[in-house]
């Protein structure tokens, strides 16, 4: 039973609803562009290089600024940063909707990424101030997890529905009423929260972290798209160098952006690692699944998105399960179990054949997201609980950065594995040109082929083989991380993000 006075409890619940709005929209804007991409490309006619920036720059900027913005919120006030970010997110959405050239569109995506970087850590860290009780906080974090992870699923669904009736601009204009609602209601429902002794803001450290994250994420994407070329190697080296410089500066700074010593705690490190792993799984599988549904199963973008609705239900059930069991089951067992559940879902997907029923794929994908919901909810709760209250924003920024890294790695690693298997199978079958590179190329070129049926049969079998290879890779990664997490969190008691008696001293050594 809660000891809160009902009006205060009702205000906290209403405040949570307002915090879920930006969490949903930030993740939704990562995926909604995929559905609108053909119409945008036709209207704005970007070059190949411009198109890559139009797709990637939002995620680049978002990942690069999360830690810095989380730390800034600790200093100036997390609600103040949330409101500033909401205003910027609305302005950037309007700019995107009005863009009449690729250059303006890229500028809008840059601003949208910067705004998203203020919203994500602010919402998660403000949950801590709204809910002091660990059980209530776990439930609230579960709701936040469903909103954030579900946004990536709802993005294509909403985008597909809007594009049935409206031009592509509508996928960005839809953000405006939600941001207006947040700006109007948040000052009355969400109390301000900040570090009482903030110190100075490490501007040089923020710039260093931005370069490090952008370099590493860009390297991952470049390796996936072009292989180990000099540009990818240079980007990786630059990112690694600036990451080292960032860590050294944080250790020596009087007012660091993040306490790097947190990573010496098994609780914090395992939570961040688990978050990275499930983001790897969810993003990597999501990027491959929509293509698989639209090519091998011949679904339209909207029908493919609607077919994935059970995936959202899986995430919701996982979050509810984590919130229900967290106070009775040890976090190590619960998080390791969630990772193992995700690995089992990948195993189901790995059993597919080209003619296997669609519902086998949906069932396996739903099991994956069930595990994702458990792990992401518990990981975010542990990150907030294991960090000092005054550093909640920076800790949330680290958690969200791990999510972006995991997503980039998942798309790159699983996408590369699938593409390599597809290409090898098509070349072995005698295919050439675009058909040998992608299944979309095979579908587009089939009408002109000497034997269209044979080409499509070969392509669908190759795509399925690549898809199942990626699933096996995902299963192996989640199983390995599950074992590591079980060991790292073995002493943590149920119902808390704090170490068991005597463990804190070991964690900080």
CA 379 to each of CA 119, 157, 384: distance values in angstroms, whole numbers, following the listed order: 19, 27, 9
Is 494's pLDDT higher than 90?
Answer: no
Is 92's pLDDT higher than 90?
Answer: yes
pTM: 0.71
Confidence grade of residue 463 (pLDDT, cut at 50, 70, 90): confident
Extents of the domains making up the chain? 1-201, 202-254, 260-509
Q: Is 389 exposed, middle or buried (0-12, 13-18, 19+ CB in 10 A)?
A: middle
CATH number of 260-509: 3.30.210.10, 3.30.300.30, 1.20.1250.20, 3.40.50.620?
1.20.1250.20
The residue ranking higher by pLDDT, 502 or 392, is: 392
Confidence grade of residue 236 (pLDDT, cut at 50, 70, 90): confident
- Token pair, residue 23, equals 């969490």
pLDDT computed for residue 369 by the predictor: 87
pLDDT computed for residue 509 by the predictor: 30
Question: pLDDT tens-digit profile of 103-151?
Answer: 899 999 889 988 888 887 778 778 877 777 777 777 887 787 777 767 7
Cα within 13 Å of Cα(70), Cβ side: 33
Residues 6+ apart with CB under 8 A from 3: none
The CATH architecture to which 1-201 belongs is Up-down Bundle (1.20)
Mean pLDDT, all residues of the chain: 79
Residues 6+ apart with CB under 8 A from 454: none
User: Do the beta carbons of residue 360 and residue 352 sit within 8 Å?
Assistant: yes
1-201 and 260-509 share one fold: yes
The residue ranking higher by pLDDT, 211 or 415, is: 211
Residues 6+ apart with CB under 8 A from 426: 435, 436, 442, 458, 459, 462
Is 279's pLDDT higher than 90?
Answer: no
- Token pair, residue 18, equals 């307002």
Cα within 13 Å of Cα(220), Cβ side: 24
- Percent of the chain residues past pLDDT 90, beyond the cut: 12
Question: pLDDT tens-digit profile of 417-458?
Answer: 887 888 888 888 888 877 887 777 788 788 888 888 888 889
Run of H or E residues at 78: helix 78-98
pLDDT computed for residue 342 by the predictor: 93
């Amino acid at each position: 039973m809660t000891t809160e006075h009902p009006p205060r409890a009702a205000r906290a619940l209403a405040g949570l609803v307002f915090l879920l709005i930006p969490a949903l929209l930030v993740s939704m804007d990562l995926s909604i562009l995929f559905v609108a991409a053909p119409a945008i490309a036709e209207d704005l006619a970007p070059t190949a290089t411009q198109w890559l920036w139009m797709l990637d720059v939002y995620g680049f900027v978002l990942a690069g600024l999360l830690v810095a913005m989380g730390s800034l919120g600790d200093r100036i006030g997390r609600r103040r940063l949330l409101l500033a970010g909401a205003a910027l997110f609305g302005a950037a959405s309007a700019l995107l909707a009005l863009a009449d050239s690729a250059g303006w569109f890229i500028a809008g995506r840059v601003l949208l990424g910067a705004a998203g970087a203020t919203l994500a850590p602010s919402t998660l860290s403000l949950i801590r101030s709204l809910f002091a009780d660990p059980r209530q906080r776990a439930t609230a974090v579960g709701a936040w997890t469903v909103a954030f992870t579900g946004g990536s699923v709802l993005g294509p669904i909403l985008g597909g529905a809007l594009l049935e009736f409206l031009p592509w601009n509508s996928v960005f204009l839809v953000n405006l009423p939600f941001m207006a609602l947040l700006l109007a209601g948040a000052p009355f429902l969400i109390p301000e929260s900040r570090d009482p002794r903030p110190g100075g803001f490490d501007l040089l450290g923020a710039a260093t972290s931005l370069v490090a994250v952008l370099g590493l994420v860009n390297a991952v994407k470049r390796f996936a798209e072009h292989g180990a070329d000099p540009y990818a190697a240079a980007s990786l080296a630059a990112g690694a160098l600036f990451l080292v410089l960032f860590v050294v500066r944080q250790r020596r700074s009087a007012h660091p952006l993040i306490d790097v010593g947190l990573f010496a705690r098994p609780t914090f490190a395992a939570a961040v690692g688990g978050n990275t792993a499930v983001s790897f799984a969810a993003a990597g599988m999501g990027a491959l699944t929509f293509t698989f549904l639209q090519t091998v199963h011949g679904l339209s973008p909207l029908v493919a998105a609607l077919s994935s609705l059970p995936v959202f239900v899986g995430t919701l059930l996982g979050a509810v399960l984590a919130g229900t069991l967290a106070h009775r089951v040890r976090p190590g067992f619960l998080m390791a179990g969630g990772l193992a559940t995700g690995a089992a879902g990948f195993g189901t997907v790995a059993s597919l054949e080209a003619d296997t029923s669609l519902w086998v794929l949906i069932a396996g994908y739903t099991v994956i997201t069930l595990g994702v919901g458990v792990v992401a909810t518990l990981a975010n709760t542990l990150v907030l609980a294991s960090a000092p209250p005054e550093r909640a924003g920076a800790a949330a920024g680290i958690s969200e950065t791990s999510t972006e890294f995991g997503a980039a790695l998942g798309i790159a690693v699983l996408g590369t594995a699938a593409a390599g298997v597809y290409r090898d199978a098509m070349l072995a079958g005698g295919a050439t040109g675009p058909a040998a590179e992608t299944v979309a190329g095979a579908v587009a070129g089939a009408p002109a082929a000497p034997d269209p049926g044979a080409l499509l049969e070969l392509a669908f079998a190759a795509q399925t083989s690549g898809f199942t290879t990626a699933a096996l890779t995902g299963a192996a990664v989640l199983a390995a991380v599950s074992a590591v997490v079980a060991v790292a969190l073995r002493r943590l008691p149920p119902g808390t993000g704090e170490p068991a008696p005597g463990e804190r001293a070991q964690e900080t050594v």
